[in-house]
Amino acid sequence: MAVAISFFAGAGGLDTGLHQAGFDFRLVLELEETFCQTLKSNYKDLNVKQGDIMHYDRSRIYREANLNEESEIDLMVGGSPCQSFSTAGKRQAFDDPRGKAMLKFAELVREVKPKFFLLENVRGLLSAALRHRPLHLRGDDHPHLEPDELPGSALKYLLEQFKGYNVEYKLLNSADYGVPQTRERVFFVGVRDDLKSRFVFPKKTHDAEGREGLQPWVKVGRILEEMKGVEHHFPEYSPERLFFMKMIPRGGGNWRDLPSDLIERAMGGAYKSGGGKVGFFRRISVSKPAPTLLTSPMQKSTNIGHPFEDRPLSIEEYLAIQEFPPGYLVKGTLAQQYVQIGNAVPIRLAKILGESIMELINIVDAEGHDREILKSSNKVAVTAVSK
């Protein structure tokens, strides 16, 4: 099996899919103790280390992965924390400790020199500035934005950190690959220069309308239907939230479906704010994929309510929508479980990406083997002529 090393493992969504694609993880690093417990509960023999990526170098990686110094690592994986690039956050980019962790990942790629690397993050990374200027300091009355304050400058800086690699990146919607969730994330795949190859992202297999011969998106209603009889764990709505949620149409809807004379009361200060506010008092639609599963289904502005029952989606439904294997255990409090599952890469998408990377690894390995045979043959021929 191809040798892989993982950082920022979380609950193991990305690693599970990659393992299903054939990767052998020799070292899995995760900062949070509870998340490590989740990994160890599901993979008894997995070499899980609780630690901070900032304290690692090539020597420590090889030592803890039980690899000899001559061994080559096929794939280095990182689903780094995304808050520093989220459009909902302060967008501190690489000034944030979580952004610094991404740069550390790039540093380790340069130091370890794996054949391939895979990095995942939120779509906000594509438009983030290296240095964020607050909105009130922009406009005609303020100096023009500097180059490092322009949208996309953080992305440009990040790509520059992967010297020695051909890097491809793409924003992928999980629903386009058969996941019952419209989760968008940007993925980076780097191939070491000497391998003289370039990664091509797998073509999508599904489409919202099933156009161009593709399969239609998978509806979340189908997943929920298959879960009849499952015991569910979830937080309860407050009496006030429950009062309004009971008025939302079964099968899908949100605050716009409330009686008109109650909308302003239900929405409070958000009533006069801008934006579509689609997440307020939302019941997800059974006829579409689920929206992006967040780290809490209970936030007022991003409620992820069950389409028929008066509650948020459960832990079990989160796991099913993310397509974790049946019986997958998630440790910690209810809140910690939602965080782990909500931050995960859907298993199906991770596996599809892993299969594409594995295919390319096999190609470059075969070509490298052929070159070695040719090199050996030439050496033999030269020796024979010399004699």
- Cα 72 to Cα 319: distance, rounded to the nearest angstrom: 34
Which residues are 189's β-sheet partners?
118, 168
Neighbours of 222 (CB within 10 A): 12
Measured CA to CA, the distance from residue 326 to residue 319 in angstroms comes to 9
> Helix count (H) and strand count (E) of the chain?
12, 9
d(CA 387, CA 376): 17
Whole-angstrom distance, CA of residue 317 vs CA of residue 312: 10
Question: Is 82 an annotated catalytic residue?
Answer: yes
In sequence order, what are the residues at sequence separation of 6 or more whose Cβ sits closer than 8 angstroms to the Cβ of residue 69?
62
130-162 burial, b at 16+ Cβ within 10 Å, e below that, comes to bbbeeeeeeeeeeeeeeeebbeebbbebbeebb
As given in the structure block, the two tokens for residue 228 are 């009849």
**Which are the contacts of 350, defined by CB distance < 8 A and separation ≥ 6?**
13, 14, 15, 16, 17, 18, 20, 21
CB distance 323 to 290 below 8 Å: no
Hey, what amino acid is at 8?
A: F
Of the residues 73, 82, 224, 345, which is catalytic? Answer: 82
Residue that the structure tokens 């020199």 belong to: 113
Q: List active site positions.
A: 82
